[in-house]
Amino acid sequence: MRGMLRKIPEQIRRLSIVIAIIIVGVVTARYVILPSSLTDRRFHRESTAQREVAKNIVFAGATICGNCHGDQAGKKKDGFHKNVSCETCHGPAQAHIENPSTKPTAARGRDFCVFCHAYDPSRPTGFPQINPVLHNPIKACITCHNPHDPVPRETPRECSACHAQIASIKTVSPHALIGCTSCHSVPVKHKVTPRSVRPTKPETREFCGKCHGKESDRKDAPKIDLASHGERFLCWECHYPHRPERM
Amino acid sequence: MNQELVQRLSELQQEVTGFIYPNEVEIHWSILIVVYPYITGLVAGAFILASLVQVFNVKEVQPTYRLALLTALAFLLIAPLPLQFHLGHPERAFEIFLTPQLGSAMAMFGFVYLWYLMAVLLLEIWFEYRKDMILWSKGEKGPMKWIYRGLSLFSSDISEGAVAFDKKAIKVITVIGIPSAFILHGYVGFIFGSVKANPWWSSVLIPIVFLMSAIVSGIALVIFLYMVITPLRGERIDMRCLDKITSYLFYAVIVDFTLEALDFIHRLYESEESIKILSKLVTGKLFVSLWVIQILLGMIIPLAIMVAVKSLKFDEELRRLLYFTSVILIQLGIFATRWNVVIGGQLFSKSFRGLTTYKMEVAGIEGLFTAIGLLILPFIVLTILLKILPAWETAEVKEGAAS
Amino acid sequence: MNRRKFLKNAVLFVSAAGVFRHLLKDAAAKPTAGGYDPANHLYGMGIDIDKCIGCGLCIEACKKENNVPKEPFFCRTWVERYVIKRDGSVTVESIEAQKGKPRADEPDILRSFFVPKLCNQCANPPCVQVCPVGATFATEDGVVLVDSKRCIGCRYCIQACPYGARYLHPETRTADKCTFCYHRIVKGLLPACVEVCPTQARIFGDLKSMASRLVRFTRVNKIHVLKPHLNTEPKVYYADMDGEVR
């Protein structure tokens, strides 16, 4: 054994001592000295989850407001805003639940309702929109619309109240002077509960042919031969009726 | 909320073109992350040059052998600094050693770095200098004597057998060291190349291209240092050595150029979805740094120079001038390569619909001054190393005590 | 002889002790206090693009609930507005700045809609894969969290996220992102953004539950996820998502 050791070159012996010291030092430090709170992954994950869960709640939730504010909740339950939660308009309310003298906000001017209801052509069709500059300027929105049951003061005469983008397109089209109801038959219920019953679309080629067929006497409408033009497809499958020959 | 940060980000927001995700307005990996692969590239490249002597027995390159090793060490010691300065929490950097997440290439940094530093570089330098350190310690007095004795681990055997063993050990270490150097710099390439979210980075070729440009820059650096230090020492430049190293540089630049051209052609040909925004990036924001600096100045002109030198017969002085110009251009080019990869990859949005901008701070911990400082620091370290472990004088020739 | 035997026994003893200690640690793992067992839940979110009106209240609510910096450069969730025109051009913008102002009509719009975006809480998250210290991880109930006490701020996860969902929090200097309001959902509440959405464009649910709005959502709609080719297995499911959405 001693003979074998002596055969190892002197520099290797010295190196090995240094390397051994380093390795032993590292292993001792890592596995013996350091506490598991620094090295245990499961501990870190659990403590992270606990820290997350302990964070403050700021929004209280949709149902809890009704426990004290039954009137407003009851009013809202069946109206157009039934799925808009209280905190959407009144802001976070957890602080108010913990200390009822801290009141949440209430928008009483014209600057909040427009976040949803100002006209934007990207909003889905059927969503009620107004032009805030022209629509009853200066008056606060809540003057005419109760936010908890926002029925408009009068049933809108124009479809543009909810279909503003389509109306806006049609205004600059050859069909500008044709009313929406000329082509779409609108059940009365549609204005009250829009999603329960939809207007119709023309179902025959002859419908458009009333103005655009060869036999029609409508002078300003371009004429085509219904028998041959466009095979058997419905007219609006190619021509966009809200702005024909342009889109 | 830090007002200065908000101000800076608002300015950046003004310069955004097209659409970027809101969180993308700030470039996160700044110039420090450009400096880091540049530095480790120099380490890998210098080491590969040194290995030419040991493993491939290219005797002409011997005069630069020790210089290459010390250069690699000097740059390796500075390499972790840009990373430390960049971290949001540098005081937690030790966690990479304690709880590395083994699926992450970045977690390998600590271990690869330590392995390369201790098991390859320090060991090889130790074996190379051991005999000389023992002799120097005998010739010195005062603190230097003890420094040498300590560095040599109080070893004292300088018999022929021991020295022969040293040489064999160096060979073994170099053979291990070459793949280690590849991993040291290759993993940085892999850090970028494995990010599938970023089409500018995500490529099989990136680790290879990083490695080849590292070899190019490392060799160029050693040439530069050799050409600067030798006259300062009052010695003549060994032209046979210089010509040989520059040959290797030439081959390396050709391979590097080919790989980068291949990546480019391949991208254009496949024409994937990201090609539109990447074309905008390359012809707009990266025009100067890519076409002018990386390609024209950094590769084409040095290649032309080296081809000219190989085919025409220039005299020594002209060759030296041309080599010196080439290596400086190459360094600029490789730094621009790192810039184009790191910064370029963050300038376009992952929505492929817009571009943001990088406003480099001048002062500040991730600013231009810090970057320049970190690039100068290795040269200072190298000077100190060369004073303690001279690269050209063997122990018999060294005279006098160091100050 | 004796020395050899001693060494052998020592090695056996140390390895046995190590295994024993490891087993003890495993035995100690229990569900968190209060009866909530993460193993029984798997959270996801559904987004109905045709319902989003781009009001931006979700962005504000998230910032209030989670202490996100108010500036528009740090978002846990945001909403994109797409305008696709007849000539094929696609314009996208983030809607933060436009709130409340009426928008002018643009000519030749083919399709236009809003797309809410947030962290997709991927089941195969690239951000978790690249974190060097394991500071970000996926919980058993399917939420990807960031341990802000261990994050070193290297920002690799921000680079690796294909959706731009992560940002560096300017005060803690650690990575931050949407957590599905983890502190709310484990108590049976909804995330803040879902809570305030006036049109129910965001649907939150538990994929493991027997009665879940999210499960129904994935039954009656054709579902898309963002960037499926990257195989991140996102758990935010989009209905009626247009092909131009990135």
For residue C147, give how far its alpha carbon lies from the nearest alpha carbon of chain A (Å).
6
A131 touches chain C (CB under 8 A): yes
Query: Quick check: B95 and C166 CB within 8 A?
Result: no
pLDDT surpasses 80 at C13: no
| CB-CB contact of B123 with B173 (8 Å) | yes
C114 touches chain A (CB under 8 A): yes
What ipTM did this prediction achieve? 0.91
Residue extents of the structural domains in chain B: 29-397
pLDDT surpasses 80 at C16: no
* Per-residue pLDDT tens digits for A115-144: 999 888 899 988 998 888 888 888 999 998
CA distances from B81 to A55, A85, B77 (A): 36, 52, 8
pLDDT surpasses 60 at C23: no
Query: Quick check: B351 and C129 CB within 8 A?
Result: no
pLDDT surpasses 70 at C10: no
- Say what the pLDDT of residue B38 is: 96
Would you give the distance in Å from CA B121 to the centre of its chain?
15
The token pair at A222 is: 């371009």
Query: Quick check: C150 and A44 CB within 8 A?
Result: yes
Chain C residues touching A30 at Cβ < 8 A: none
Q: Identify which of A111, A109, A110, A60 has the alpha carbon closest to the alpha carbon of residue A86.
A: A60
| CB-CB contact of C184 with C192 (8 Å) | yes
B324 touches chain C (CB under 8 A): no
* Dist CA B287 CA B268 (whole Å): 17
- Say what the pLDDT of residue C15 is: 65
- Say what the pLDDT of residue A12 is: 86
Give the residue from chain B lying closest to C244, CA to CA: B351
* Dist CA A104 CA A62 (whole Å): 14
Enclosing H/E stretch for B354: strand B354-355
Query: Quick check: B19 and C96 CB within 8 A?
Result: no
The token pair at B238 is: 């060994």
Domain C38-124+161-239, architecture per CATH: 2-Layer Sandwich (3.30)
Q: Which of A59, A116, A132 sits opposite C192 (nearest CB)?
A: A59
Q: Tell me the pLDDT band of B268, cut-offs 50, 70 and 90.
A: very high
* Per-residue pLDDT tens digits for A200-244: 999 999 999 999 998 888 888 899 998 888 888 999 998 999 988
Q: Tell me the pLDDT band of B154, cut-offs 50, 70 and 90.
A: confident
Please, which residues bridge with residue A224 across strands? Answer: A213
- Say what the pLDDT of residue B391 is: 87
Residue with tokens 């009656």: C220
- Say what the pLDDT of residue B262 is: 94
- Say what the pLDDT of residue B138 is: 85
For residue A169, give how far its alpha carbon lies from the nearest alpha carbon of chain B (Å).
27
The DSSP code for B18 is E
For residue C6, give how far its alpha carbon lies from the nearest alpha carbon of chain B (Å).
32
* Dist CA B41 CA C157 (whole Å): 24
Question: Is the model more confident about C96 or about C211?
Answer: C211
Query: Quick check: C126 and B196 CB within 8 A?
Result: yes
Query: For chain B, which chains pass the contact test of at least 3 CB pairs under 8 Å?
Result: A, C
Q: Tell me the pLDDT band of B396, cut-offs 50, 70 and 90.
A: low
* Per-residue pLDDT tens digits for B324-357: 999 999 999 999 999 999 999 999 999 999 999 9
* Dist CA C69 CA C60 (whole Å): 10
Q: Tell me the pLDDT band of C19, cut-offs 50, 70 and 90.
A: low
Q: φ, ψ for residue B334 (rounded to 5)?
A: -70, -35
Chain B residues touching C126 at Cβ < 8 A: 195-197
Q: Compute the average pLDDT of residues A154-175.
A: 86
Give the residue from chain C lying closest to B345, CA to CA: C159
Most A-contacting residue of C183, C203, C204 (CB-CB within 10 A), to test interface: C183
Query: Quick check: C102 and A118 CB within 8 A?
Result: yes
Query: Quick check: B104 and C156 CB within 8 A?
Result: yes
Write the secondary structure of chain A as one string of H (helix), E (strand) and C (coil).
Answer: CHHHHHHCCHHHHHHHHHHHHHHHHHHHHHHHHCCHHHHCHHHHHHHHHHHHHCCCCCCCCCCHHHHCCHHHHHHHCCCCCCCCCHHHHHCCCHHHHHCCCCCCCCCCCCCCCHHHHECCCCCCCCCCCECCCCCCCCCCHHHCCCCCCCCCCCCCCCHHHCCHHHHHHHHCCCCCCCCHHHHCCCCCHHHHCCCCCCCCCCCCHHHHHHHHECCCCCCCCCCECCCCCCCCCCHHHCCCCCCCCCC
pTM recorded for the entire structure: 0.90
The size of the A-B interface in CB pairs under 8 A is 32
Query: Quick check: C189 and A57 CB within 8 A?
Result: yes
- Say what the pLDDT of residue B336 is: 97
Q: Compute the average pLDDT of residues B296-306.
A: 96
State the pairing for strand pair C109-118/C77-85: antiparallel
Chain B residues touching C71 at Cβ < 8 A: 1, 6, 9
Within a 10 A sphere around the Cβ of B234, how many other Cβ atoms?
Answer: 6
Most A-contacting residue of B91, B98, B104 (CB-CB within 10 A), to test interface: B98
| CB-CB contact of B342 with B193 (8 Å) | no
The size of the A-C interface in CB pairs under 8 A is 134
Give the residue from chain A lying closest to B153, CA to CA: A14
B99 touches chain A (CB under 8 A): yes
- Say what the pLDDT of residue C61 is: 95
The token pair at C30 is: 């229990």
The token pair at B54 is: 């040991």
Residues 92-111 of C with CB under 8 A from B: 92-94, 96
- Say what the pLDDT of residue C8 is: 74
- Say what the pLDDT of residue A218 is: 87
Please enumerate in sequence order all residues whose Cβ is within 8 A of that of A24, keeping only pairs 6 or more positions apart, or say none: none
Within a 10 A sphere around the Cβ of C129, how many other Cβ atoms?
Answer: 18
* Per-residue pLDDT tens digits for B205-231: 999 999 999 999 999 999 999 999 999
* Per-residue pLDDT tens digits for C54-74: 999 999 999 999 999 998 899
* Per-residue pLDDT tens digits for B238-267: 999 999 999 999 999 999 999 999 999 999
Using left for φ > 0, alpha for ψ between -120 and 50, and beta otherwise, residue B123 falls in alpha
- Say what the pLDDT of residue C63 is: 95
Burial B377-400 (b: 16+ CB within 10 A, else e): bbeebbeebbeebbbeeebeebee
* Dist CA C39 CA A102 (whole Å): 38
- Say what the pLDDT of residue C20 is: 54
pLDDT surpasses 60 at C25: no
- Say what the pLDDT of residue A8 is: 77
Give the residue from chain B lying closest to C97, CA to CA: B22
Q: What is the DSSP string of B170-216?
A: HHHHHHHHHHHHHHHHHHHHHHHHT-TT-TTT--THHHHHHHHHHHH
What number of CA atoms fall less than 13 Å from residue C49's CA on the CB side? 26
- Say what the pLDDT of residue C30 is: 47
- Say what the pLDDT of residue B392 is: 84
| CB-CB contact of A37 with A43 (8 Å) | yes
Chain B residues touching C73 at Cβ < 8 A: 6, 9, 13, 22-23, 25-26
* Per-residue pLDDT tens digits for C160-186: 999 999 999 999 999 999 999 999 999
- Say what the pLDDT of residue C99 is: 62
Query: Quick check: A11 and B157 CB within 8 A?
Result: yes
pLDDT surpasses 90 at C193: yes
- Say what the pLDDT of residue C27 is: 41
- Say what the pLDDT of residue C5 is: 73
* Per-residue pLDDT tens digits for C125-143: 999 999 999 999 999 999 9
* Per-residue pLDDT tens digits for B30-73: 999 999 999 999 999 999 999 988 888 888 888 899 999 999 99
Give the residue from chain B lying closest to A43, CA to CA: B99
pLDDT surpasses 80 at C7: no
The token pair at C106 is: 């643009």
Query: Quick check: C132 and B96 CB within 8 A?
Result: yes
- Say what the pLDDT of residue A155 is: 76
Q: What is the largest CA-CA distance in chain C?
A: 96
3-state secondary structure of B271: coil
Q: Compute the average pLDDT of residues B132-154.
A: 86
- Say what the pLDDT of residue B395 is: 63
Chain B residues touching A18 at Cβ < 8 A: 153
* Dist CA B283 CA B277 (whole Å): 10
* Dist CA A189 CA C88 (whole Å): 38
- Say what the pLDDT of residue C26 is: 47
Chain A residues touching B157 at Cβ < 8 A: 9-11
Enclosing H/E stretch for B355: strand B354-355
The token pair at B222 is: 């050693």
Q: What is the DSSP string of chain C?
A: -HHHHHHHHHHHHHHHHHHHHHHHHHHH--PPTTS--GGG--EEEEEEGGG-----HHHHHHHHHHT--SSTT--SEEEEEEEEETTS-EEEEEGGGGTTSPPPP-TTEEEEEEEEEE----SS-HHHHH-TT--EEE-TTS-EEE-TTT-----HHHHH-TT---EE-TTT-SEE---TTHHHHTTTPPPHHHHH-TT--EEEEETT-SS-HHHHHHHHS-EE-S-GGG----SEEEES--TT--
Query: Quick check: A14 and B161 CB within 8 A?
Result: no
* Dist CA B201 CA B338 (whole Å): 12
pLDDT surpasses 80 at C226: yes
The token pair at A199 is: 């207007």
Please enumerate in sequence order all residues whose Cβ is within 8 A of that of C105, keeping only pairs 6 or more positions apart, or say none: A121, A165, A168, A169
- Say what the pLDDT of residue B402 is: 43
